[in-house]
Every structure is written in structure tokens, then in C-alpha cells.
Chain A
Amino acid sequence: MVIYRIDGSLEGILCAVFEWFERKPGKIKLIDKKNYQPDAFSDTLEIFNDTKKADRVWKGLQKKLDKIWLRRCYCCFLSEQNEALNNLFEFICYVFSSPEGSTSNYGNTYVLAVAKMARKVEREKHRMEAFIRFQHSADGIFYCGIEPDFNVLPLILNHFQKRYADQRWIIYDLKRHYGLYYNLDLVEEIRMEISEERNLNKPSANRDSEKESLYSILWKDYFKSTNITSRKNTKLHLQHVPKRYWKYLTEKQLGS
């Protein structure tokens, strides 16, 4: 087995596919540079990114796959999971070596794996669209920090840009240390100082706008009064709102 060492980018994976079709050396394994540890028993091939090669593979894929499957590939990539990247690689190779329509072969391991991973990532995307809680700052920006399991900012950008067209906002990924800033015109990528990052999501009187605490209290009140005690079902509640998201949910913050 040969290890293909990639830089973790989508371009890297596409280049790896290119290399594999050039050489066809049998079974390979992709490893992201970040997670790479030399292994005495396998050879390692360093994959250098080459936009031309990556483009060729992507164009080829566009011919083979419909929009839905292209998106699934992208989602699978955004999962940042090593296993998922390998499945994605195998899936792409499978698609190139099979006739039209091979993606509906749900009996194939890689077809299934990519579809499954994509679904997980889409679910996280959907959860972020649901669980993001903006706080209104004195300088007029609505901001929020998040720590999604997968790198979903690129997937939620569109949704928030369309929805909040008349207010400035920031959504910041505290895990991956980058965020989106919408300035009423377009969305740009931003990076903050670590000290600034830490302040996100912590209510603070000198940063929040005057009305911010009133509305967060009203929302907490609402959350409480809409509950029907005689139907309490904690298991179901936790299934819908896993605990790891609570720290970002206004309605789950104590005190009022």
C-alpha cells in the first residue's frame, strides 16, 4: 500500500485522483499532512497541488455527476475526517471507472459512505442555521461564535446572506479560527485575535446594544412559557438539541 500525503484541501484530493490514474499502483491511502506519521511499512508519495490537474479532474467529475452528487462530494470533503476523505477518493475513482449512472448503486460501499457522510455534514449545516443566536452589539453588528463539528461555514453563507440582508452580521468559527462578516453588501472572510475570539458569545454590558438583554430575556421567557410540563420528554428534547450545542443557545443560558 502507498500513502498519498495531501495538504487537506479539495485540490489536494483531486490531484491525488489524477496521480492515481497516472500510475494505478493499486491500493492507496490518503493522509492529511496534519495527521501524517511516517510508517515504516508503506511508501509515501507527496502530492503537490497543481491547479491544472485538479481542474481537469473536477471538470471530468462535473460531466459524470449531477449537482446533487457534486455537492455531496463537497460536503464529504468539508467533514475533514480522514476516513471520509479516503472514501471520497475511492468514490471518485469508482465513478471515473464506471459507466453512467453508477451513483445510484447504493450497494457500493463508497457510494453509500459518501452519501452518508454528506448527510451528516448537511445535518450539521442545518443545525447551525437553526442554532445560531445573534447578539446585537452597540456598534450595530449582530454576531455569533460557533464550534461546528464539521467545517460548515462555506455551506451556511448563502442562507444567512439571503436571510439577513438588512443587518450587518458576523458568524465566527471558534474551532477553525475564521469567520464570515456581512457588511450589507457582501460577505467577507475574517480572522480575529485570540483575545477577541474569547469574548464572542459572552454577554457583556459594554459591548451589547441597549436592548440586547431585554430581547434575550424575552426569548428565555418565551422558551419557558411555551413548554407544556405534563408532556415533558427529556429524551426527545436531548435528541433534538444535543448538549454540546447548549452553550450557544440563548434559551439555555441560566438566569434572566
Chain B
Amino acid sequence: MSERIREKLNILADAAKYDVSCSSSGGTRKNDNKGLGDSHASGICHTYTEDGRCVSLLKILLTNHCIFDCAYCVSRKSNDIERAAFSVEEVVSLTMNFYRRNYIEGLFLSSGIFKNADFTMERLLRVVKKLRLEERFNGYIHLKTIPGASDDLIREAGMYADRMSINLEMPTEQGLKLLAPDKSHNDVIKPLGMVQNHIIQFKEERKLIKKVPKFVPAGQSTQMVIGATPETDKEIMHTADTFYKNFSLKRVYYSGYIPISNDNRLPILGTQPPLIRENRLYQTDWLMRFYGFNVNELLNDANPHLDIDIDPKLSWALRNLQHFPVDINVAPYQLILRIPGIGLGSAKKIVEARKFGKLRIDQLKKIGVAYNRARHFIKCADTPYQLKDYQGTQIKSFILAESKSKYLKNDFNQISLF
């Protein structure tokens, strides 16, 4: 008995690991039924895999049987691998027992499509219902929507899940068509739109009647596989931007493609996943969501690719030296945010602290500004007088010479595929 469950867990956790979404944040579910669990907005990473990714949820597939054959997916029909399927009870008891031991924040449940979309979605629904209603579980639940499932099932699942997601898989329609001819972005757009409408509708109703249940309180997210198809960074981030705007997504995840097959449409086995590129995309995503950058400022026809050797904020600054130097002691917050070497935290502190007098270099350092980087772009109370105007390329080389960028050493990871 225990051997079989170990086997299933190994197969179905292994197959689910390529989904990068792991966040357990954004859901608040109070433990007011004397049950198990309590989720708060920030979420907790309970451990980290040896590749450095956080583990906060039990991330598994209900089954890796699938009737489809998407080339980028380990569970695809034509792949010769071991198959397994959990029963509803097994998923529930794994979740409860892991949670009781403080291993996890909750469950991330996804599935290959067996029989058809509704049959699969109905199973997923049974798991979450059992957890919430029978086990009084208040931990986090992220449910993968099965493309093509009926509105009713999706709607009901949304009453019990904290977050729902459905993956775009490839950044563009052409990319997707190439690797998964049966799928289209519309399969994703439809349920995303559906869920979003329900979110809005439930919110409205809750304003009037307090008893209306929460619907997908932590919102929706999606994922794109990067580097399997030849899209530019510009195409990727513009797609992300559109989806953020149209479906008010909480997150878009970018997953560097890890070769899993010898399919000649895809990078060959053994190709390193594009880790730096993935990292740069996340940085760009942050700049869009938290730093007030418009996607066009970072990626446009003149600059369709992110720099590999420097981060996107620095490269924007170097392309836009006309905005600098920024005077730390008078500039508006929004502008301070755009200075390389100054993060959200230090920008806030600067704006607070300068009310008490003009800030000097040593104070900026203490506040947490990466001064060696920032100094090329700022003026403060005791900035030394500078005769020379440096060019962007010169500043870049100063900064690169100083920073022992952890990525530079790993440069071999970044192989140009096309």
C-alpha cells in the first residue's frame, strides 16, 4: 500500500514540477471554523529545491494520463513514460497530512486530461470540495483550470479555490500552433475571461450581501514557456502586458524551456535552460508591475531583446541618460524609483528621510542604496563635482567592472538557439 502511494507521488510530483507557479500569496482564508489552516496574504516558502526554487505547495498532477500530445509536455500521449493517477481520497489525505506537519502552505493541483475536459475538471472539483467541506481545510488551494471544461464546473471550483490558472504555454499563437496544433490561445482566453467576470460579479454581490462566498480570492495567473519557440523578448512581454491588462492577472510566470524530448521542432536534449533570460523577463515584469514602467519603454522595435549582461532597469537608464542625474533630495518618488541601484524600499526611505534634511552619500548607503551603481545617475548633498559627462557605454563598463555579477560566470547557460 505505502509502496504504491510512494510510486504515484514520485510520478505525479515529477510530472508537475515544470509548472513554475508556486506562490501561495494573495489569499486570505481565516480559520474561523476551528479547522486546519489559515492563509495570509504573504504566504510562506517552506523549503527550497536544490535548484533554488521555493516549495510552498504540494504541487502534483491528479493524473499524467493525457489524450493530447503537446510537444513541450512530459505527459503528452506519445511520450513513453510510466502513468499513474491519484484517487480523490489520496490527494486529500496527502494534503492534510503534509499540512499538519507544516511541510506546505497548501495544494497546487493540476492534471493531464483523461477521457475529456469535464470528466477531469469534475475530479479536481471533488478534491477541493472534500478538502474544504469535509476536512475544514483553510490552507491555500491553487487549481489548474482544464481547457475546454464547462463554465458550470469552473464556476463551482472557483468557490473553493484561492487561485486558478490556465497556461498560455507559448507567448504567441504561432508558437503554440507549432507545438500543440490542437490548442489555441482562445482556449485560454475563454476561461480566463469567464473567471474574471465571476470574480467581478462576486465582488459586487459581496458588497451588498456579506454572506456571498469569496470567488478565487487570490486571482488568476498564467505561465508561458520561454525559449522553446523563437519569440523575441518584446513579443513575450507585450503578450504578458496584454494579459495583465485584459484579465487583471495576479502573475504571469516565465518558464525557461527544459528539453524533454527529441522532437525536431524543439531545442535538442541537453540544451541548458535559458536561466538568465528567464531572470531578465521576471525583472522586466517587476518593473512593469511595481516600478511604473510601461512595457514600451523597456522593449520596443529598436530594442526587441533584453540585455543579458545587465538588468533591464540599468539598460533603460543607459539608453535614457537625458533623465539623469536625478537629484535625490528633490526628485519625485516615481523618478527615484527609476534610478539603477535603488529599490522600492530604499526609494520610500529616501522620500521619508529627506524631510529631515538633505541626504548625503553615507546616508544613502546606510539606507540600502547600491551606491556604486546609483552614483552614476544621481546628485545628492555632497556629490563631488564632476567635469566629465560619461557615455552610456562607459558607465556600463564601470559598473560591470565593479559588480561581480553572479550571472557572468554562468554565461555558458545562455545559448542562442535560433
Contact = CB atoms under 8 A, between A and B. Distances in A.
B34 A225 contact: no
B363 interface: yes
Contacts of B97: 211, 215
B353 A126 contact: no
Contacts of B46: 130-131
B44 A129 contact: yes
29 contacts: A106-B367, A107-B357, A107-B359, A129-B44, A130-B45, A130-B46, A131-B47, A132-B102, A134-B101, A134-B102, A163-B36, A164-B102, A165-B34, A166-B36, A218-B5, A219-B103, A221-B6, A222-B58, A225-B14, A226-B49, A227-B17, A227-B50, A228-B17, A230-B258, A231-B52, A231-B275, A237-B48, A237-B49, A239-B52
Contact of B10 (A129, A221, A229): A221
Contacts of B353: 104-107
A234 B14 contact: no
A107 B356 contact: yes
B52 A237 contact: yes
Interface string B30-54: 1100111110000011111111111
A233 B34 contact: no
Considering the complex of A and B, which 6 residue pairs feature the smallest CB-CB distances, nearest first? A236-B52, A231-B51, A104-B352, A240-B48, A106-B353, A233-B52
Contacts of A132: 102
Nearest to B410: A233
B136 interface: yes
A218 B34 CA distance: 27
B317 interface: no
A225 B13 contact: yes
A136 B101 contact: yes
Contact residues on A (Cβ < 8 Å of other chain), bracket: 35 or more
B349 interface: yes
A142 interface: yes
Interface in B125-170: 136
Nearest to A102: B356
Interface in A183-226: 211, 214-219, 221-223, 225-226
A226 B11 CA distance: 10
A227 B51 contact: yes
Contacts of A144: 102
Contact of B55 (A142, A217, A226): A226
B94 interface: yes
A164 B258 contact: no
A244 interface: no
A226 B100 contact: no
Contact of A164 (B13, B50, B58, B100): B100
A130 B100 contact: no
